Structure 1
């Protein structure tokens, strides 16, 4: 998140500022110019991941506005409770997973869907909560089973609603 906070992440708009002659169109949604804020908050793909996270966790609203404000808001007063830790982890992990998916599309010509990116993010969030002693391994495994069931189309969950 340091690179994001200092606007150093190499999105297409930042590459253009460095003198690269590139067309600027988001690799995720193909409907807007790629910038840090667009990629991590405004892009339809990122919005769907955030909405899916909100549905699964039922605790947090997705970030809106400026990514730098979201970082400050979600990181400044890290609460000691579980909800605060989940929010703190979610901001970092979901941003990281969207960035990795963007790079996979750019450099490997591979494309995952929203549900797959969300599953990866949720696994990392649970691992982080276990590592910091916020939940037990058993609680984490139970939560992940519930998450997998909720994301499985055979259970009627529709991320794209």
Structure 2
């Protein structure tokens, strides 16, 4: 199974965990890492190239830090321009049908903050419903998300272990 990791971090050089994840994923032969902010520093997305990458892979992964209860803006722009009517959805939009879709998300806040009664009042599952709806609309199968939370408080060893857990998660059969 070939996986495409669409990484979106607007300031990767200042990230500890997303940078570690990307570095570790680059070591896997069946995983393609595609960093949107490196690829499109001007924000102008090559739609045809992106659609071709999607066609070439079986599992699509969005990797990002959780910003304001969603993804960074370039990933949202990517969705808006790449997942087009007639290609990704609609009566003729079947290009993604049968592919698998996974989220790989990091949060600065601890897991306890993302649950009913927690600081943010909602669980990660509730907050990621729009991504699940995107998978449904485009005919992809939404797989369990990979999250590492409270990254501000993790040791270097815990960050390295998180990268290994991500690889195992992305290679798992569901």
Fold conserved (TM > 0.5)?
A: no
Q: Which has the higher helix share?
A: 1
Q: Which has the higher strand share?
A: 2
RCO higher in structure (CA 8 A, sep ≥6): 2
